[in-house]
Structure 1
């Protein structure tokens, strides 16, 4: 892709919308709403955030805050804080490559650029991000457990995320250079594309892969680690059953039934969905 602020913005929107097209048991998608939210909320959020997240000359923290402000003005609920926290870094990395190309400098690969962005995160980025988190009011907030988001931060956003990395997968991405997305997520997507040549089913495969291998942070915050681990075991069974099929559509009805069951149990693997969107954004930008 030829990277410009406009193409990066479009890539973000397409990643968000593509994720909604796939069956993601327990989460919101075109097959079923859930948890007091509807698909249209997420479509509106994707459209308004795309208008601000790739604006030039912003810090990562500013991108996070502008995106959350746009979301709250549009749908007045937290549809995408995790998506924004991940995507703001990826967008910043892609914009860095765009700027370097303008000066005829060789652009680093996306993951290297992501690491460079993470290394530059400041206390100012933390201030903007904390403001965004307060505005979004996420359920079971646990991103910065040792640092009160209602107080002015005295550490960088990277340091704050490092403090939360042991129990929050989004914070863990900041800590490990987005390795789970750029390696595990992309490899899962590529495997599914080679098998089925279907981006929508590849998205479902990525979602199930994250849920199966990484106990969901959102579920763990609300219901405890043991519940999230049991959910991962359920996902592992579905992932293995899906992976052996030549036609993934044959498994759709079982995934829809599991989706209804998870929603009845009020289990929403939101972090797995956030990681899926970030993976799709990386796919779009590579």
Structure 2
């Protein structure tokens, strides 16, 4: 299958980032409300400056992640998109090469591991803690997938690397298709995807910062909300109430937002390929 041009990949990546920001996503930064000392403008800038590295022609996955993180931190002075880049870099490389995500991930090597570990250290994500094996503060392993497998039970982004993005295929893409089939406008389709992740998975970012009990409680709150509302204008009030409640508790379900961007990006890439 012929691959997509890097320029198109960059455009679709940026569009996915901006579409995620336009949607009301409880607990995250979005067009309806800022939060966690971050503004929508920080994320717009992050999308702009990271797109060239994310889509750089013939670049390996690790180099795309590292370049995007370095450009982002230089521009906004903080980590706004490490998870997004970790998820979108494999999708970008696969799309450019005209191959599936499984093939892109199977080709990861020691150079990818070094670049990804360097990117994580540069971004310094909150609540990362220490690991007994493959700690990012130490030397990168020879296999990035081995390191991701170690973290997979507690981190959805790491799990994507060892399951060929199974959560996106199981949760995100069906939620997006169902929202479209229901006739929801694009921004509400994005909200539906975010809520699908938030109600199905204990958010990894919440888990790292607040522990398993809080992460599971948030998941159950999201699940209960989804039983009461359908994404759309009539749901703005309860969604904003949940948003304010999470932010008042300092809870940022950032992994759910990262998975939402990756879902939109994967869908746009498939559409561009005619899949």
**TM-score normalised by the chain length of structure 1:** 0.91
- Range with greater deviation from structure 2 (118-127 or 149-158): 149-158
Tell me how far apart the structure 2 counterparts of residues 252 and 10 of structure 1 sit (CA, whole Å): 29
What corresponds to 2:222 in structure 1? 235
Matched positions, count: 269
Aligned residue number for residue 169 of structure 1: 156
Structure 1 residue 219: Cα displacement: 0.4
- Candidates 128, 131, 135, aligned match of 1:148: 135
Deviation at 1:94, TM superposition (A): 0.4
- Structure 1, unmatched stretches of 5+, are 98-107
Question: Helix, strand or coil: the match of 1:24?
Answer: coil
Contact 2:3 2:96 in 1 (8 A): no
Counterparts of 2:5 and 2:150, CA distance in 1: 34
- In the TM superposition, structure 1's runs of 4+ consecutive aligned residues that sit over 6 Å from their partners are none
Residues 1-28 of structure 1: CA deviation (Å, up to 9, x unaligned): 9821111110000000000000000000
Q: How big is the shift at 1:68?
A: 0.3
Q: How does 1:68-79 map to 2 (within 5 A)?
A: 68-79=69-80
Structure 2-normalised TM-score?
Answer: 0.94
Q: Distance in 2 between matches of 1:210 and 1:253?
A: 20
Shift of 1:164: 0.6
Deviation at 1:148, TM superposition (A): 2.1
- Cα deviation for residue 147 of structure 1 reads 1.1
Structure-2 separation of matches of 1:168 and 1:218: 8
SS of aligned partner of 1:149: coil
Cα offset for 1:196?
Answer: 2.6
2:3 touches 2:95 (CA, 8 Å); kept in 1? no
From the superposition, tell whether residues 121 and 167 of structure 1 become closer, same or farther in structure 2 (CA, over 3 Å).
same
Q: CA deviation at 1:43?
A: 0.3
Match of 1:265 among 245, 249, 252: 249
Stretches of structure 2 that go unaligned for 5 or more consecutive residues are: 271-275
Counterpart in the other structure of 2:273: none
1:114-135 deviation line (CA, Å, top 9, x unaligned) = 1001111111111000110110
Partner of residue 284, structure 1: 268
- Give me the whole-angstrom Cα distance separating, in 2, the residues matched to 1:167 and 1:183: 18
